[in-house]
Structure 1
C-alpha cells in the first residue's frame, strides 16, 4: 500500500482481512508502515493511494518490472493531473459536464481568461489544471474575488506551476455526490453506494475549501438505482474514450457529480479513492478487497461489488490554522477512549510521534493539517453520526478543530432507515 494518510490506513485495515499488508511510507498510527520504497518491496499486489505517485508514473515503473499494480499509469492519471485534459476527454465521451474554457499564463491568455469570466453568471468556478491536493478550486459569487483568483493562480502565487494553467467553468448549483468504480482496462464496475463530502472548513459550508472535513454514506437522495444511472452516464463512456486514446486504465475512477435542476453534471474525475470518502466506503465492501483489486490490476475484474446496507459517517479532526497555516507537534490525547466507543474506527492521517520514531511506543502528535478520521458505523446515518461525535468528544490537543454539522442533513433525511 503506497501512501501515508487516512485513506491508506482505511485501505490497509480492509486489505488486512485477507492479506499481509505493508504500507509505504505510512505513518506511526498505521500498522505495517515501513520507510522502504515501493520499488524496494517484493509484493504480490501494489495499491497506490495518492494521486501524486500515480501522476509521477509509479504504476508504470512497477509494471515495467512485471509487478501487479492497482492504479493507472501516468497517461490515465492525467485525468486528475490535468483538469484541462479531463474536460476534453469527458466532452469527447459525451458525458454531461459544465461548459468551460482553459487558459495559460501568457498575457494574451490571461486577458482572455478575465474576458471569459465576464461572460458568465455566478457562481464563478476557477480551477487549477494541475494537482492541488483537493484545494485548487474557488467557487464564489463575487466576481472581484474570481478575477483576483485568476491572477493568483496564473502568477503561480497560489499553487505554483499547478495553477499556471486554469479551467474556468460555468457555475452550477445543486447537491454534490461522489461515486466510485473499479476499472480493469475493459470494464468499469460500480460501487453501488454514494458518498457526500464536506469540503469547506467551517460549519454551514463556510470558509475555504479543504481536502475534506468529513463525509457520509449512503445518501437518501441517491439510492442504488440513481447510483446505477449516474454510473452508466459517466464511467463506461469515459473508459471507452480512454481506450480509444490508447490508455489501459486499471484502478479506480472517482466521479464527482452535481445534481442540477437540469440533470446531473460531472464536476470532475479523480484517479484514486477520495480522502475521506474511502474511509466510509472501503469498510463496507463485503467482497475480498485484495482479490477485487488484484482482479482489476490483472484485467479480470469480477462482475459485482457488494456493499453493506449500514451507514458510516466520518468526522475529520484537524489542527488549528488548517488549511492555511496548520500548527503541528501537539500531543494527541484520548485516542484509546475514543476507540472504545461502539461502532467507531479511527484512521490516522496527519500524525507523528513525539520522538520522531514510528512504532517506538511514544505518544502520537499532530503531524499534518487533517490528523484523525473518526468513523462511526450504524444501522442508519443518525446512529453512525452519533457514534462518531461521541468518540470525537474524547479526543484533544491544543487547537483541535472539527465541523459539528457533518451528515446532519443526511441524518435527518434518513430517519427511519437507509435506502
Structure 2
C-alpha cells in the first residue's frame, strides 16, 4: 500500500470531476460553488488536504496537493481556486492549540476557513485583541464557516508591537463567519465562481487563543515538515497547479476541435494542416516543460525541507520563480489554444471562452507578478559563486 499521506486525494478529485464539469455553468452564472460541488469536496475530504493528521486531515505533501488542484481545475478553475485557498488557510491549525483548532475545523458543519489580504491592525487588550477593519479578496468565503485576517498588532497605547528583530508583530486572527459583515463585490472578468468578497468587523473581540502567529516556525504545535512551509509559498504552488489544469483542459479542447473541424476556406481539415500540427506539438512541449519545472522545484524543496525542517530563502526564491513562470507559461498555452479555435472559441457553449477569462484572471493575481523575476534576479546577482 502507498504510505504517502493523502495519496488517494488525487483519485478522489478525479472521481468528482464529472460532477464539477456539469455544474460549471451554474457556478459561473451564480458566482458561487453549487451546494452539490461543495458537498462533494467536503465528503471526499479535499478541503482537509493540508489539515494536520492529528485533527483528521490528510497532511498531504505539496505534490499531492498540487495534483489534486490540477485535476479539479481541468473541470472548473473557480472550484479549484476556492479549494486551494481554503486548504492552505487550514494550515494555520498547526499554530493553534489543539482544542482551538478542533473547534474551528471539526465542530462547525463544514469546518472551512477563508481569509483575505494582509491589512490593518488589532489593538491588544486584556485577554486578547479588538479590531475594527475591512479586508478584501476572501476567495472561498461563501463556503466558509470561519474567517481569518492578517493584522499588525499594536499595544493598548497605539504603539506598534515589535518582534525581537525589530519587525512588526503580525498575527492571523480567526473568528466565526457570523461575526463579520460580508460585501458582495466580486464582479470580475474571470474566476467568477470564487466569490472573492470583502468582509468587515466592528469592535470585535478576539480571544488570545484565536490569534496565531503568522508563519512563525517557533510557534508551531505540529512537528510535520509541511507546517515549516510558509503559506505564501504553498499558495504559489497551488495556484500554479490550478493554471496548469486550466491550460491542460484548454489545449485538450483545441486538440479535440482540430481533429474534427474543417476551417472555412481551407482546403483540408485542421488535423491535416501542417501549421496546426506544428503549433500543437510546440504548445504541448511548452505545457509539459512548465509542469515538469514546477513539480521538479516542489520535489527538490520538499526533499530538503523533510530532511532539515528548514525552509530557506533559496527555497522561497525557487518556488516563487517556478510558480510565476508556470502561471505565465500556462496563459500562453491558453492563448494559443483559444486563437487556434478561431470563431468557435467566442461562444459560451464551447469550452474556450470561460477558461480564457479564468486564466487571465489568474495572471493578475500576486503569484504571477513580473516583479518576482526582479526579486529572484537580485538574489542571484548577490550570490558568491
Common fold: TM-score over 0.5: no
TM-score (structure 2 length as normaliser):
0.29
Q: Which has the higher helix share?
A: 2
Q: Which has the higher strand share?
A: 1
TM-score (structure 1 length as normaliser):
0.27
